[in-house]
């Protein structure tokens, strides 16, 4: 339980860091001085931010799936459910 809490707290701080980074550096220009290069940079920043956020969320889901498997207590359905969560998270990353 402590390990899961530490993982969730770490994921939360990584997520907050990424969100605050996005608020300050996501849009490359300000006002009316934007051009086509700034628009392309914005698309690149959005893609990068989405990928980084996806990795953080995938890590959280993998930790959750592992927690479900560890606390299954011999229940085959819970083990199967945990494996499905981990498999889906890894598939999403790939």
One-letter-per-residue 3-state SS of 15-44 = HHHHHHHHHHHCCCCCCCCCCHHHHHHHHH
pTM score over 0.75: no
pLDDT tens digit string along 5-45? 666 666 666 666 555 554 557 778 877 888 888 889 989 99
- Give residue 79's pLDDT band: very low, low, confident or very high (50, 70, 90): very high
**In the structure, what pLDDT confidence band is assigned to residue 66 with cuts at 50, 70 and 90?**
very high
Q: What angle do CA 53, 58, 62 make, to 5 degrees?
A: 155
**pLDDT: which is higher, 70 or 9:** 70
Query: What pLDDT score does 30 carry?
Result: 78
């Amino acid at each position: 339980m402590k390990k899961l809490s530490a993982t969730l707290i770490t994921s939360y701080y990584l997520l907050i860091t990424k969100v605050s980074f996005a608020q300050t550096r996501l849009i490359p220009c300000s006002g009316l001085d934007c051009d086509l290069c700034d628009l392309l940079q914005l698309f690149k920043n959005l893609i990068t931010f989405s990928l980084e956020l996806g990795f953080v969320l995938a890590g959280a889901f993998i930790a959750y799936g592992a927690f479900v498997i560890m606390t299954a207590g011999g229940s085959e359905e819970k083990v199967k459910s945990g494996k499905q969560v981990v498999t889906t998270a890894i598939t999403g990353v790939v």
